[in-house]
Amino acid sequence: MSRAWPGMFGPGVPQSEGSMMERIGFVGLGTMGSAMAANLLRAGAHVTVWNRTPARASTVVEMGAQTASSPADVAARSDVTVICVSDTPDVESVLFGLDGIAGGAPSGSLVIDCSTISPDSTRDFGRRLAERGVGMVDAPVSGGSEGARLGTLTMFVGGGEGDVARAQPVLEAMGRTITHLGPLGSGQAAKAVNQVIISGAYLGVAEGIVLGMKAGLDPHRLVEALSGGAAQGWVLANRSGRMIDDEYPLGFRLGLHRKDLGIALEMAGQTGVMLPVAMLAAALEDRLLSTGHGDEDMSVLARAIRDLSEPVPAPAAADDGAGEGPTDSVEPGRGPV
């Protein structure tokens, strides 16, 4: 059933014929963006999409999305345009580059940027769009590919009250926890804080899992025990298994987290804050990037702990209670191979 969004329209913005919703554009259909656009379609929105690699649009086109020839074309056919790309230069390119959104967006339209980029750049982009009569909201997300698929993302929102109110129904179709934190750029600043905190969470779980395995504990029973106490948390519940198995299928790319940490460390430098845990995480991630692990899930931080430790014993089967130490061959500096 289509979902109606009454009260969504900005002043002077016409409704699409036969629809109670604004027309939504979506630029950037990677792992996150494709799932987010799909949820907009499930909510009943009229969605026009563009992606640098056109083949990535096939899934949402099959669901009913229309394709555009460029970001400018998306904006010209939309009242609200959502961006979800990788980095600050990518956002600037799709906004102000050749055939960019700014060249097609009509006065009175709105841009929602769900990318994770520099707060300073966000404020600059907002000023440049405002000169053209276009509003902007920053709404970077947390929750990984699972949250994007399930529509349960956390969204850190910055922008003026009117723009955020107008964006709210769009954000609600893609996320669950949506918090307006202040003026434009505030969402990006909050996302930087989030990335600092999860650095410590991932590192703590990685260190604990490797230590427990080295001590001969059954890691599965260890996680069960830890989950009942103060160590419980999302990373322990959802990523400890990958760390135990030393396999890291994509959830949130390590390379993207390292990019985000760069933003956070720059912000820390500007505000005079020392971030020793984030700095350690950045150094470990740099080590992993140099050995080709940038496209794996960021729980691959456990591999860095393994590499810095003595060989880790193979985990006992979850149901045998053995915890008998290594049974497989090991490669120096790594776990079982």
- Give the residue numbers marked as catalytic: 191
Q: Cα(310)–Cα(333) distance, rounded to whole angstroms?
A: 6
Distance CA 305, CA 288 (A): 11
Name the pairing type of β-strands 80-83 and 66-67: unpaired
- Report CA Rg, the chain: 22
Q: Which residue bears the tokens 């193979």?
A: 314
Q: How many residues does the chain have?
A: 337
Among residues 187, 133, 137, the alpha carbon closest in space to that of 12 is found at 133
Q: Are 25 and 134 in contact (CB under 8 A)?
A: no
Structure tokens at 114: 């769900």
DSSP 191-216: HHHHHHHHHHHHHHHHHHHHHHHHTT
CA atoms within 13 A on the CB side of 260: 27
Q: How many CB atoms lie within 10 A of CB 17?
A: 6
Are 246 and 213 in contact by the 8 Å Cβ rule? The answer is no
CA distance 148 to 144: 6
Report helix, strand or coil for 82: strand
DSSP-derived secondary structure for 158-193: ES-HHHHHHHHHHHHHHEEEEEEEESTTHHHHHHHH
**Residue pointed to by tokens 């399930």:** 150
